[in-house]
Structure 1
């Protein structure tokens, strides 16, 4: 059964529960409870294992967790609305054809705030309910859209996975990633020197600055200003158009090495320096603010704190609590294995069976080195047609025609202006109006060669996007299924314990997860991680002979996971 949750009409301090069937039909009269009684009322109803239906998980779930009330399943209507509004499979549904509404407005995922404001029913009710955002009606429209699609099972699985991800994101923020601020400071001091006064550079960066200025013979060179730095480099005879690392590294000059070192330390200082510790670490925890579905492919984004760009330089500060350990796992060659499963390429499946996929490609005779196998597959999935990746692509196409044909077809559709969809049905956006106008202009009689060239470049660029969309988006779906299954398995390792007292997810990075667990359960958790990965492959792809192996490390600090 489903239970819809909404702010009670005309009452800022009340919440309404409405029981619904699978299609969104009422199963009884709505019931209202006070805001103070909301967590207890949810806990009582959770015993019936419902699927909670609400507008935004970020709006409702933090207050429940604060009251030590966890839920197993939900429907995050805004996340699901975005998928169904844009999915090719539901393009003719009433939901997709309806005029824009408050359901299309930015959600609480894009407007995060402090935890104690996330349950401000009065403020949120004024924004949502006044705009007519009725969760019961929206759920009915969503269920009708799914039922009328060509493959309701896949879409239903996608919506369930997306909603499970919304719960996981809030739980990881609530539990927090263990973080030793003192150790972080020590790491910064080792790399940068002592924390400088406000407005000054750390000692090591100042030393590098002096080296750079001396090498360029320019006492005013400023590596913090790309525009000014380019001028300084050119005056020194270094012909560059930008300060990108890859462009600088092509030049041999005494200034290049200290400059690259300076830029690396500058990134660390800006992204994860002392100010970051002050802003993001409290009570021994870093609490990532994840945005599920924040990227058009379905990948997550982070809203503050840089959770998805945590550099290895500071991972030594991620230290498990006494008596606890981290189980760190990442999926091996996830995207090429996803491509294998989507395309049904059995030759590639055989190459990756019980071994590193790239090693298997070499063993098959398709290419001669693991490096060539990797660069070739990345080129196939990301549209690399030049250099080593372009040279490897014909060899891979001969050995694995189904896999290469699959991404080539996705690219062809993109170049024609068509949309593509992931395995479960998330659909790519349409090209922009400017893109379409450029293509029309290039097809006009007498179109200038420059216009045709720009149109061709735009087509190929969009084709590279759609080529990767199907793979990266489906990899994101696999990761959601992996985490959702693991979350359920971890809950069974301490069903009577609060979230933070049993094994629980604390970090996620596209194809890598971190579980914080009591030391005595670490081996059990490692086994559950692997089983959940196997289950995710079967859930998405059935009996196809494609493996999704994960490497697992049990460590007391995050930096040791890949030592």
Structure 2
């Protein structure tokens, strides 16, 4: 492992660690009933019920036993429970766990010595993972009687109870025999907690004012156009571009046509990126940039988006926890991870409620310091802006230089300002730089690196290895060798950042999981947010997550309590993952009525 030395640290975050001994597996039986069993005593079912009775049965066990539920895929089971008003505290998501266990370097020795491979249903579910969960579509969300055990997507049957139990046993054996069992258990629990949170974010939804959003669109784009027409302000900029380029029939939505027209006007561009366009002086440049900006808004968050995604005052995107190699989330619709600042004013709390917005300040540099146990870098970060701390330590002269140096170190930049500044960083913080350098070297050799808790990077594709092999052959040309060096460096940059970004994602999961439990324990409010659904209408709840930023929707009278809990859980996550290493995780925290008001 190229991260820290977690095994894991002492302590536990509520809702993350395995705080009880009761485990209950759920799965369909051959007779069509949904069975609930103790995985250690599968021959003695705890219950077997029709699908329509499952929410009440789960609710009863949750109330009396607070078990860890074991199921195939949270995105298929949990939305139906939430729609019926049932919240659970913890689960084991076998689909997400398999993705970690079957690729981690911490389980490599076990797998090499004959551990069973993942069953076929895991691959089948993973192949359809980026599609919206069937339970999140249309009326199926509210109709448990339609459940037929079809959980594979595209008509493929989901795993039976026996298959769920077999996979649970396989995963427990892999975990127990892994290089760091406690760290792996924490990672799997955190990943599963993330799956619950993803489903809950969809169920509660992000409060959204259609009126505010429409006002933004009308101010920025002009009145809503008729179907098939461009908004008024876009048409005005388009006309200016055509006039200045003397191209009356130019289609500004065709990059090929725009490039051809720009070059015909004597503007030698290779792309239509804003950065390259601004390098040239021509009266067509500014209206072209303005058109492209408005086109992005109209396409990504315009009226069509508003009609499709905002229902009953809520934005309910389909999150995919663990949807990227590093463990960061993805979405399969709605663009929740790319909300432009222009439309954030439409994120408005319900009457009598507030938004608590928290952003972990410079999370990845702090995680790098903790992973490397670099006390000098931790000293520069403690209680302040990391980049200003680096300036005050005398490493560089200006904050912007510090930021360029740190990002260059984590992303492998070797030219320009980064190439000049990174060596200074290496002299000041040798342990941190050594960690990312080792990760890069491992990637350049075609190896895998591993995060703090045990998620490992994928190996390079066969095409990469073919390039490396070709360069090592006797008849290899200088071009072959250059191509091999370039592709090796590219993969090294990926692994260099993977270990930091993946460990930061683990911190975020532990932060949210701890906070989720704290919020659920707060006293209900008489002031209801009915659109948030039966589970969340009376208590503070998470409504948004973006890498290192969260939003909690809370009754106004609980706002300060929630803000304190958000900060306390950030500190708890740091202690859980990095023990007593002297590093803090400060937050930019705001209690506001609108998301736009939280922007610094």
Q: TM-score, normalised by structure 2?
A: 0.90
Higher relative contact order structure (alpha carbons within 8 Å, sequence separation ≥ 6): 2
Q: Which of 412, 424, 428 lines up with 1:383 in the alignment?
A: 412
2:24 is aligned to: 3
1:160-188 residue CA offsets vs partner (Å, 9 max, x unmatched): 01100011111111011111111101100
1:79-115 residue CA offsets vs partner (Å, 9 max, x unmatched): 1111111111112435965265111223464232406
- Asked whether 1:110 is paired with 2:130, we answer yes
**Aligned in 2, Cα 1:131/1:41: closer, same or farther, shift over 3 Å?**
closer
Once structures 1 and 2 are overlaid, which stretch shifts more, 117-126 or 260-269?
117-126
SS class of match (1:500): coil
**Aligned in 2, Cα 1:257/1:142: closer, same or farther, shift over 3 Å?**
same
Distance 1:445 1:359 in 2: 51
Distance 2:549 2:219 in 1: 28
The answer to whether the 8 A contact 2:102-2:118 is kept is no
1:38 is aligned to: 54
**Aligned in 2, Cα 1:458/1:132: closer, same or farther, shift over 3 Å?**
farther
**Aligned in 2, Cα 1:372/1:270: closer, same or farther, shift over 3 Å?**
same
1:290-344 residue CA offsets vs partner (Å, 9 max, x unmatched): 0001111100001110000001101111111000000000000000001000011
1:258-279 residue CA offsets vs partner (Å, 9 max, x unmatched): 1111111100000000000000
SS class of match (2:460): coil
Deviation at 1:130, TM superposition (A): 6.5
1:521 is aligned to: 558
The answer to whether the 8 A contact 2:195-2:321 is kept is yes
Distance 1:434 1:495 in 2: 56
**Aligned in 2, Cα 1:89/1:130: closer, same or farther, shift over 3 Å?**
closer
Once structures 1 and 2 are overlaid, which stretch shifts more, 274-283 or 131-140?
131-140
Alignment of 1:55-204 (within 5 A): 55-93=72-110, 98=117, 101-107=120-126, 109-112=129-132, 113=134, 114=137, 116-117=139-140, 120-122=146-148, 124=150, 127-129=156-158, 134-204=163-233
- Asked whether 1:50 is paired with 2:79, we answer no
The answer to whether the 8 A contact 2:37-2:45 is kept is yes
SS class of match (1:219): coil
The answer to whether the 8 A contact 2:449-2:499 is kept is yes
The answer to whether the 8 A contact 2:348-2:594 is kept is yes
The answer to whether the 8 A contact 1:320-1:557 is kept is yes
SS class of match (1:413): helix
Question: What is the RMSD computed on CA atoms of the aligned residues?
Answer: 1.7
**Aligned in 2, Cα 1:123/1:27: closer, same or farther, shift over 3 Å?**
closer
Deviation at 1:151, TM superposition (A): 0.1
Deviation at 1:52, TM superposition (A): 0.1
Structure 2, unpaired ranges of 5+? 1-21, 526-533
**Aligned in 2, Cα 1:192/1:133: closer, same or farther, shift over 3 Å?**
farther
1:275 is aligned to: 304
1:504 is aligned to: 541
Structure 1, unpaired ranges of 5+? none
The answer to whether the 8 A contact 2:515-2:569 is kept is yes
2:7 is aligned to: none
Distance 1:146 1:500 in 2: 38
Distance 1:54 1:516 in 2: 29
Q: Which of 485, 490, 500 lines up with 1:461 in the alignment?
A: 490
The answer to whether the 8 A contact 2:590-2:598 is kept is yes
Distance 2:583 2:44 in 1: 46
**Aligned in 2, Cα 1:110/1:116: closer, same or farther, shift over 3 Å?**
farther
Deviation at 1:30, TM superposition (A): 5.3
**Aligned in 2, Cα 1:448/1:131: closer, same or farther, shift over 3 Å?**
farther
Once structures 1 and 2 are overlaid, which stretch shifts more, 88-97 or 372-381?
88-97
Q: Which of 359, 377, 398 lines up with 2:427 in the alignment?
A: 398
Distance 2:162 2:462 in 1: 30
SS class of match (1:505): strand
The answer to whether the 8 A contact 1:410-1:470 is kept is yes
**Aligned in 2, Cα 1:380/1:16: closer, same or farther, shift over 3 Å?**
same
SS class of match (2:187): helix
Q: TM-score, normalised by structure 1?
A: 0.96
Q: Which of 344, 357, 361 lines up with 1:332 in the alignment?
A: 361
Deviation at 1:204, TM superposition (A): 0.6
Distance 2:156 2:46 in 1: 21
Deviation at 1:26, TM superposition (A): 4.0
1:481-531 residue CA offsets vs partner (Å, 9 max, x unmatched): 010010011011136994221100001111000000011111111000000
